[in-house]
Amino acid sequence: MLNTARLVFPGFWFDKTPEEEALALARAGVGGFCLYGGTKTRVATLTRKLRAASPLPRILIAADYEDGLGRWLPDAELLPSNLALGATEDEALALEKGYITAREALRIGVDWVFAPVVDLANNAANPIVNTRSFGADPQQVTRLAGAFMKGLAQGGALNCLKHFPGHGNTTTDSHMAMPVVTDTLTQLQNETLVPFVHLLPFAHSVMAGHLLVPTLDNKNPASVSKTIIHGLLQQTMGFTRCVCTDALLMKALGDEKQAALQALDAGAHILLVPQKPMELIEFLKLQVFPDEILKRAERVLNELCAQADELAATARKVPFSAAEFSQRVARKALVPLGHFPPVEPGDTVHLLNVGNDENFSSVPFIDTLRAYGIITEDFKSPQETDTLIILFWRRYKPFSGKIGLTEEETNFVNNAVKNVRRTLLICFANPFAARNVNTEGQLLAFSPSPVFQQAAAECVMGLFEPVGKLPMKL
């Protein structure tokens, strides 16, 4: 009979989780791990150790590499965001992103990528989806996410659709509290669920979100709802493969042990990233589960491991460059709004950074301007400024709960642009910030990566025409 420890996939945070603790969990028979942080070398070393320590013939190592390894690893390329790909409307680029992600993940021992996000970017106040989405149009999300999934498969990695039944139309970060999806049944059928409906046949797994969807179940969040997982996903929609919960440590749920029992009863097969994994394993050992639940989970996990082996064995191995790929996307993704005359060599540009919570370096942007003879200075006052460029950096960040300009920041920026002749806002992350700022022009870049900063600077100088299409409504 299945060892219930295999249902648990603990998280591992480099520089936070003790390695011996992870190895003990591996020896206890967990089904796999979800990794956060590290470097390429450290991840590769750890994945080898975890697999060697496990008594199971196969464990799965997963990570949230939604924007490539660079989303978590400082020594890897941060690939263009999904919303940037939405601005290109280019399926070939989405496929390439999936392929590069899979090839780089497998090189360091990660065989399961928790992507793509197929939530819609249809709520400006959503603090956790935003640039993770391919856009607001369900058909475009389906096309681009489907291409990304093909790329992952060609590169040899498992995929995961998330967050079922759709996290887009919410205003709460589920890492902090329970989001409520207010969609009507018609909205769910015609918009929110559309990507899932079309992509489920190609999905290796689905992640159920910590979301209360009163139209479907007014009592239980999706991740522990039998009505939503078993009833809607598995029976009505016919999905027979792996269902995992979103991370159990997220604050949207209460007691994680009871949530784990509810999730398994609801039809989930994997309990992802609990706060106290060893305690949960010991708790599960004491429970009496119907044979049907354990047999179903064992079958699904065995199939998932077999799929991982098959994908790795049949993966295409063609040369690629993550940096060159990002450069090509950046030239196609930038979206211009309003009017901003190009700056020219010899011009002085004042810069104002806003919402830089993660302390992104603006050096790539500044160095590109200076390389073409533009003089850059920090903004001090409107009286001394002829040309002002505001750099906005805030992007989705788990446990943050905010993504837009605060009221204080909005007022500060709008006061700063008064009486300045040329004003431009560049959004290197959340594009919805452009709605509240009274600048002459805006440029949506969708990513804080150096490549996108360089492209934005060249665009500001008029070296190329931005051709991206707005993938959502402002």
Strands (E) across 85-152 are located at 112-113
Tally of CB atoms within 10 A around 293: 17
Q: Which two tokens stand for residue 339?
A: 């009017």
Catalytic annotation on 291?
Answer: no
From the list 175, 204, 210, 350, the catalytic residue is 175
The whole-angstrom separation of Cα 56 and Cα 48 is 14
Say which amino acid occupies 438. Answer: N
Q: Which residues of 315-336 are buried (b: 16+ CB within 10 A; e: fewer)?
A: beeeeeebeebbebbbbbbbbb
Strands of the sheet containing 11-13, edge to edge, are 11-13, 32-36, 60-63, 112-113
Phi-psi region of 352 (alpha: psi -120 to 50; beta: other; left: phi over 0): beta
Strands of 191-339 (E only): list them: 205-208, 242-245, 271-272, 335-338
Report d(CA 224, CA 214) in Å as an integer.
Answer: 14
- Given the residues 64, 67, 246, 269, the one annotated as active site: 246
| Other C-beta atoms lying within 10 Å of the C-beta of residue 282 | 14
175 is an active site residue: yes
- Rg of the chain over all Cα atoms, to the nearest angstrom: 23
DSSP-derived secondary structure for 244-259: EESPTTSTTSS-HHHH
Q: Report the SS3 class of residue 205.
A: strand
Provide the token pair at 155.
């590169």
The residues near 360 (Cβ < 8 Å, ≥ 6 apart) are 393, 428, 448
Q: Which residues are catalytic?
A: 175, 246
